[in-house]
Amino acid sequence: MTTASTSRLLADLEGAGELIADPDVLASYRADQAAPGLLEAGMPAVVVRPRRTAEVQAAVRAAARHGVPIVPRGAGSGLAGGANAIDGCVVLSTELMTGIVGLDAASLTATVQPGLVNAHLGDAAKQHGLWYAPDPASYAFSTIGGNVATNAGGLCCVKHGVTRDALLGLELVLADGRAVRVGRRTRKGVAGYDLVSLVCGSEGTLAIVTEATVRLLPAPPPGATLAASFAGLGDAGRAIARIVRSTTPAMLELMDRTTIAAVEAMAPQGLDQDVEVLVFARSDLPGAAALEEVERMASWCESEGATLAVVTDEEAEGRMLTAARRLAYSALERQGATLLDDVCVPLGAIPALLEGIEAIAARHDVLIGTFGHAGDGNMHPTVVYDRGDPDAVARARAAFAAIVALALELGGTIAGEHGIGLLKHGLLGDELGAAHDLHRQIKHALDPAGLLNPGKGI
């Protein structure tokens, strides 16, 4: 944008919230956490930080009048480039929209603004003996709006569901600046189309979320935990399949040998680095039933070849057992630049996925650490590479694309919970096929000028 047009835009944005136009500060809003240096990240003309819905409306209307793209942004913690700026755009940051509009303990619901951090909603619910179930690994800093944008999951989603399962209603600002409410506060309802589910996972390309009404659950009991190690990928896959066929764990996670080594290098946990896979499971059944359930899981793991299975119903010990899993991505980041994938396959295809990833790592001569949600088939194979070596970058990109292709071959999806963003924008058609045009028509119906987060997702 020219200096004059930027000045006119800034003048028109008065009343839209706090404005940031300092170039040094604007630079910090250019990109999220996805593959730094590999994805395009423009320089916004301005960052707008509204505090209420009316200010979001004013920002959207001003951007529309000037024909300027508007890129919604939460905490900037995304891993797919969904919040990357476009040259001359308006970045609409929801970081000041952190209010809890209402918490209805009797109805087990909360209505919150999009900038509220996931963990802060959890803390508020806890004061009422309640619990917000979706718990992405980034729960301590990611926001509810960002969680809605990508339909974020987490370690507990195998039993309690992802963000969409907890979402009842939304307040939205549309591309023309109108504010509308979709969904409801009730647990059931089929009046009209399910526009809440449509917007959830749309990465800010259809509307901007200004409030979310979510369901809460009674706080779970302390529970019990299992950690099991396996010398073979097939053994671990069979154990996982047996567990999910026979029970519904509150958590079922895994880490491969490469990730185990990375965690031990960063924060020694005493993990056995000679095993191929570590599996972590948890039960949140009440009382003694939790320990009984994880003991059954342990026996199934042992019958499928586990080299060790440790069970505890001590809360502190359980947190220690699973701490390594929460460190997985951070540990791999310390090994070099990372390209984190987010594929999901049918449960029965998990062993084939893990074996295929190992073959891809060998074929492309790259380090790949795999961890993820074994209970629902959502894996995060993470390619580690040297950002300063062009050949290493090319091999990392090729390995990343090969993993996505493998997931599709196995009947899976290219994105389980991190979104499409810029990272996989060019790969979406491989999964959607002829239905891709239907998605584009929906986008055009809600955003005919194409100004809401263009180039992302669809």
Boundaries of every domain in the chain: 3-93, 100-218, 222-332, 336-453
User: Which amino acid appears at position 126 of this protein?
Assistant: K
Taking residues 428-438, report their average pLDDT.
96
**Regarding the domain delimited by 336-453, which CATH topology (the fold level of the hierarchy) does it fall under?**
Alpha-Beta Plaits (3.30.70)
Question: pLDDT confidence of 326, banded at 50, 70, 90?
Answer: confident
Topology match between the domains 222-332 and 336-453: yes
Q: What is the pTM of this model?
A: 0.95
pLDDT in tens, 4-28: 788 999 999 999 999 999 999 999 9
Question: pLDDT confidence of 154, banded at 50, 70, 90?
Answer: confident
Q: 100-218 has which CATH code?
A: 3.30.465.10
Chain-wide mean pLDDT for the chain? 95
Angle at 203 between CA 200 and CA 204, to 5 degrees: 95
Q: How many CB atoms lie within 10 A of CB 24?
A: 6
Secondary structure (DSSP) of 11-73:
HHTTTSSEEE--HHHHHTTS--SSSTTTS-----SEEEE-SSHHHHHHHHHHHHHHT--EEEE
Provide the 3-class DSSP secondary structure of residue 193. Answer: coil
Residue 366 has pLDDT above 90, yes or no: yes
**Regarding the domain delimited by 3-93, which CATH topology (the fold level of the hierarchy) does it fall under?**
3.30.43
pLDDT in tens, 58-115: 999 999 999 999 999 999 999 999 999 999 999 999 999 999 999 999 999 999 999 9
Helix (H) or strand (E) holding 294: helix 288-303
Question: pLDDT confidence of 213, banded at 50, 70, 90?
Answer: very high
pLDDT of the residue at 3: 78
pLDDT of the residue at 319: 87
The second-level CATH assignment, the architecture, of 222-332 is 2-Layer Sandwich (3.30)
pLDDT of the residue at 269: 85
The residue with tokens 């000045």 is 7
